[in-house]
Amino acid sequence: MQHRFITTVLGTLKPNLLQSLAQVSREIGASWETSKVIKLDGQFVAMMRVMIDADKEAALKQALEQQFSQLTFVYAEYEHDSVRLSQECKLTLDCNDRSGLTHDMNQILADLEVSVDHQECYRVQVTSLGKTVYSAKLTLRLPENVTIALLISQLETLSDNIRIEVN
């Protein structure tokens, strides 16, 4: 019987590390159904949805942890369709920066039960304006009861000078 789980791997990025992780997984009979990798300043975090025969799962986890002892592995059960999501929404949000802005944005998303597939936030000093500008690029999945208009109206409360572009 096939079993799915989510594994998160984090540590220092080395050449061919992700390929090596994939090779060990394949050798034991696992496949990565989907994966996401984030790299930042020589560090990385990867999340994979892994499918493997249930009787080989423990061997896979043990092999990964032994062969890649410098990495941290976290495992979670795969819960398909735990929240019914209706549509994907990609947007860019730009406004004047302020303390707590990312926290407040994430709180709005959590309150609306929006799933965040991808989030990149930047703060850029604009010398000609004498201000720091905040920019966020988001890929979201909205619950069935949340429209794009509702999402935008809630996000617009973050700042008086905000621009939200739906891609």
- 11 in the same domain as 48: yes
Q: What is the pLDDT of residue 43?
A: 94
Cα–Cα distance between 154 and 39 in angstroms, integer? Answer: 30
Same domain flag for 24 and 54: yes
In this prediction, residue 10 carries a pLDDT of 96
Q: How many domains does the chain have?
A: 2
State pLDDT tens for residues 57-78: 999 999 999 999 999 999 998 8
Mean pLDDT of the chain: 90
pLDDT at 34: 82
The CATH number given to whatever domain includes residue 15 is 3.30.70.260
Over residues 99-119, the mean pLDDT reads 90
Three-class SS of 5-22: EEEEEEEECCCCHHHHHH
Q: What is the pLDDT of residue 163?
A: 96
| Six token digits for residue 50 | 């892994």
With tokens 């493997």, the residue in question is 52
Provide the domain limits for residue 70.
2-77
pTM: 0.56
